[in-house]
Structure 1
Amino acid sequence: MIPRNHLLLALYRAQPGAFSTHVREVTLSYGDTVFEEGTIPRSVVFPEGALLSSLTATADGRMVEVAALGQEDAAGVLSCLTAEPETCRTVVRIGGPAKTIPAQVLKTAADADEGVRRVLLHSIRRVAARTEHELACNALHDVTSRLAKWLLLTRGRTGEDRLALTQEDMAVFLGVQRTTVNASAVTLKAAGAIKYSRGVVHVLDPARLEAFACECYAHAGADTEPGAGSRQVA
C-alpha cells in the first residue's frame, strides 16, 4: 500500500524495499506524548492523518507550539541522525494513524545511502524553514489571518476537513489567549468558512478560508498539497 506520508513515500523511492519489513502501523490518540524533551526516540513517527505538535515551555509553565508535524513530515528525524536528545516535547493534537520505523534502522540506512540521507536532511531543512517563517508571521500578522492559515495547513497535513480541535489547542498553536481565539473563530464562522462546535472545527469553504489567511499560507501551503511528496529533491 502506498503510504499517505510524503516523507515516508520519498524514503521508499530512495531505497525501494529497505524499510517495508521494519514499518509498523500505529494509532495515535489525542493528548498522547510521543516524545519527551531530553529523550532520544527509539522510533521515528510518520503521521498519516494524525497531527503532532512540538512544544516548548515558558518560565511560567505555559506551552507554546514551535512546529506542527503532519503527513509531509516525521517526528524524531534529527535525533535519529544525531543521537542527541529531543529539544521539545511532542504530543498528539489530532489523533489518527501513523507509521513508525526504528530509529537505528533509519540511521543505518542514512549512513549507508546518500539518497536516504538527502531525503531526511531535506525534511529537517523544510521544517526549520517553516519554523523561521512562522516567527515572522507571528510578529506581523493578526490572529484571524493566522488562524485561517493554520486551519488550512492543518487540513492539508491531516487530509481531513473535520478537525478535532479545542479552543485551548488553538490558543497554544497561536500563542494567544482563548478569548482571542474565540473572537477569530467567530469571525471565520460568520463568513461561512468554518463551522465550530464541541471541540470540532469543520472546514466548510477552503477558498473562503484562504481569503482570510495571511500571505504566509501561499508560502507554507505547497508542502501540504496532495502529491507534495512527489516533488522530492534528488
Structure 2
Amino acid sequence: MEQATRVGNRLLAALPPADFALLAPHLRKVELRHDAVLVRSGDRIEHLSFPCSGAIALIMELPNGQTAATAVIGNDGAVGLLTALGPTRSPMTAVVRVAGTALQISPARFHAALERSAALATTVQIFTRALMTQVQHVAACNALHSVEARLARWLLHIHDRMEGCGDVLPLTQETLSELLGVRRTTVTHVVSALRASRALKSNRRGQLEIDRRRLEVVACECYKVMSRRIDRIVSQDAVRLLHAAPARNGCPPPPEFPFAKTDS
C-alpha cells in the first residue's frame, strides 16, 4: 500500500486519499526524543501526535506521586485524539519511552478535517475502541497476574512497536517501574527472574536484550488475546470500511509526501 509506506502511521495510512488530503498540508513531522513529555495530565492538548515509529506510554499519576502505565501507543494509534470529542484536558501524561518520529497536527486543523470526512470519524472510533481494549486488558492483567508475567507482556508490546530494531529495548529500571506500578527494588528482582529463565539475555544499563520466544512463554495470556483483539480492530477489515466510507470533500489525493522536514 503506497500511502502506508509514505505515511508510516497505520491510522492515517488507512484513510482514503481524498480524506487524507484534508490533513496532509497541516501535518508536521517531528522527532520523538526518549523521555520527552508530549502532554501532562490536566494540561490542554496542544497537538495530536500520530507516531510513525517508537513507543509512547500513557501514564496515570496519583495524588501521592505514584505512577503506572495504562497503555502503550505506537504506529497503530495516536496521542491526543480525545480532542475529537471536543476541547478537553488530557486525563493522562504521555511520555516517549522509545524514540521515533510522529506526524503532528493542531486540534483546530484536525477538527476542520473531521467535519468534512466520514472516514476520519470512523478512524477516531477505531482508535477509541483499540485504546479502550488495551486499557481494559491492562487493568485486568494488573489485578490477576504476576509481576513477571506482566513485565513480559509489556516488553512484548513495546517490541512489537519497534519493527526492524532488533531485540534490544532501550528501557531503564525507572521506566520498568513506571510500566508495572512497582518499586525499583521489585523491578530488580523481576529482571533477575527473567534472566534466570533466559527470557532476558542481558540487562545492561538502560538496555534489555530479550529472547522473544522465551518471553512469550513467560507472558500471561493477556498478551496474545490483547494483540489479536487490537489487531482485529485496526485490521484490513477496518481499512476496507474506511475506503468504503462516503467522501464528503471531493479533494484530490496529494501528489507526493507533503510533510515538513523533521523538527530538530
TM-score (norm 2): 0.80
Q: Which runs of 4+ in 1 moved over 4 A?
A: none
2:45 partner SS: coil
Mapped to 2, the partners of 1:107 and 1:156 lie a distance apart of: 30
Structure 2 vs 1, CA of residues 50 and 164 (structure 1 numbering), >3 Å: closer, same or farther?
Answer: same
Aligned to 2:168: 162
CA shift for structure 1 position 11 = 3.1
Q: Which residue identity lines up with residue 182 of structure 1 in the other structure?
A: T
Aligned to 1:220: 226
Mapped to 2, the partners of 1:137 and 1:6 lie a distance apart of: 26
2:6 partner SS: coil
Any unmatched runs of 5+ in structure 1? none
Q: Which residue identity lines up with residue 208 of structure 2 in the other structure?
A: V
CA shift for structure 1 position 13 = 5.4
1:30 and 2:34 equivalent?
yes
CA radius of gyration, larger in = 2
1:199 and 2:203 equivalent?
no
1:172 equivalent among 175, 178, 187: 178
1:101 equivalent among 105, 117, 127: 105
Q: Is the 8 A contact 1:52 1:70 kept in 2?
A: yes
2:226 partner SS: helix
Q: Which residue identity lines up with residue 9 of structure 2 in the other structure?
A: N
Aligned to 2:150: 146
Q: Is the 8 A contact 2:12 2:20 kept in 1?
A: no
CA shift for structure 1 position 14 = 7.5
1:185 equivalent among 168, 186, 191: 191
1:53 partner SS: strand
Count of aligned pairs between the two proteins: 231
Give per-residue Cα distances to partners, 1:113-139, cap 9 Å, x unaligned. Answer: 211101111101210121011111000
Give per-residue Cα distances to partners, 1:208-228, cap 9 Å, x unaligned. Answer: 110111000111223777xx6
TM-score (norm 1): 0.89
Any unmatched runs of 5+ in structure 2? 242-264
CA shift for structure 1 position 41 = 2.0
CA shift for structure 1 position 50 = 2.1
Structure 2 vs 1, CA of residues 169 and 231 (structure 1 numbering), >3 Å: closer, same or farther?
Answer: farther
1:134 partner SS: helix
Q: Which residue identity lines up with residue 172 of structure 2 in the other structure?
A: T
Q: Is the 8 A contact 1:42 1:104 kept in 2?
A: no
